[in-house]
Amino acid sequence: MSTLFISDLHLDDSRPQITTLFEHYLSGDEVRKADALYILGDLVEAWVGDDDDAQLPQRIANATRAVCDAGVPVYFIAGNRDFLMGQAFAERAGFTLLEDGTVHDLYGTPTLLMHGDVLCTDDLAYQAFRRQVRTPEWKAQVLAMPLDARRALAAKARAESRAQNSIKHEDIMDVNAKAVAQAMRHAGVTHLIHGHTHRPAIHHFDLDGHTAERIVLGDWYEQGSVLRVTAKNRQLRAVRE
Ligand code: LP5
Ligand code: MN
């Protein structure tokens, strides 16, 4: 009995070995015997729409659908790289889309699940960008553009983001402790799992007199990273071939 969490795979044609690792991991025993698999955002490097006819989205859909067909539910929370993913792809891929900030019960422990970007409140430029691109109007306008134009826009946004990240202080790109406490308080939980920052760790801290736990998932740039939760413990570890 275990529940698995992954995020920040950033699947992309430039890292074919990671796509293969993802496929192998999803077809292996650990996943096939799990109670559920959660993907907490940034599954791909850049999602330009559910109508993308490239090979990668199809491979992803095949991999996750096989997990769900094997009886293991797959849940997905969008990240800042795949916020344009919608219900059409979720249906093809057999997974359930969850709102960022959903609380699920894990073996008796209510746990807040997020991608993590909303917690980075010191990153004012990013939060302004996020507010702009997450409105239904902005998304509809972009999704109405031809695929090629969306791919070009995503490439521009990636280049701009990379340039800005290189001059931002590391601390600005981490979560803000007050935002973490506020989100947990608001959700009424002492446990939080998120990705985004690529700083895998299990943090313990005091939240209004209770011991709270925040687990940060790792990225899949060079190897995989998975959190395995059971009724007894939580194990954050690497995934390799
Ligand atoms: O993603 P990462 O790790 O580099 O940095 C994130 C934040 N950046 C982003 C931007 C994404 O990388 C862009 C890719 C989206 C692909 C799918 C969308 C396709 C449609 C096109 C969308 C425009 O999320 C970064 C944070 C960092 O995490 C740490 O938290 O700091 O935030 C920024 O870089 C935001 C910038 O500071 C401000 C905005 C830059 C983007 C400008 C877009 C311009 C688009 C082209 C216009 C002609
Ligand atoms: Mn992210």
Ligand with minimal distance to 118 CA = 1
Residue nearest to atom 23 of ligand 1 (CA): 157
Residues found in the chain: 241
pLDDT digits (tens, 9 = 90+) for 76-95: 999 999 999 999 999 999 99
pLDDT digits (tens, 9 = 90+) for 89-114: 999 999 999 999 999 999 999 999 99
Placement of tokens 């044609």 in the chain: 13
What is the chain's alpha carbon radius of gyration, rounded to the nearest angstrom? 17
Ligand with minimal distance to 126 CA = 1
Which of 240, 230, 241 has its CA nearest to residue 2?
230
Residue 84, amino acid: L
Residue 216, amino acid: V
Backbone φ and ψ for 26, nearest 5 degrees, come out as -70, -20
Alpha-carbon dihedral of residues 132, 99, 81, 193, nearest 10 degrees? Answer: 120
Dist. CA 163 → ligand 1 center (Å): 10
> Which residues of the chain fall below pLDDT 50?
none
Dist. CA 208 → ligand 1 center (Å): 34
Residue nearest to atom 34 of ligand 1 (CA): 161
DSSP letter for 63, please: H
The pLDDT value recorded for residue 19 is 98
- Angstrom distance (rounded) from CA 215 to CA 217: 6
Tokens (6 digits) for 152:
């070009």
Dist. CA 81 → ligand 1 center (Å): 8
Tokens (6 digits) for 127:
């939060």
* 123 Rama sector, left if φ>0, alpha if ψ -120 to 50, beta otherwise: beta
Give the atom of ligand 1 at the shortest distance from the alpha carbon of 128.
38
Q: Could you give all domains of the chain from N- to C-terminal order, each with its CATH number?
A: 3-239 (3.60.21.10)
Ligand 1, from 42, 85, 121, 165: best to mutate by most atoms within 8 Å of Cβ?
165
Alpha helices in 47-135 (DSSP H): 55-69, 87-93, 124-133
The pLDDT value recorded for residue 3 is 98
The pLDDT value recorded for residue 241 is 85
Residue nearest to atom 19 of ligand 1 (CA): 154
From residue 99, alpha-carbon distances to 36, 77, 102 in Å are 17, 6, 6
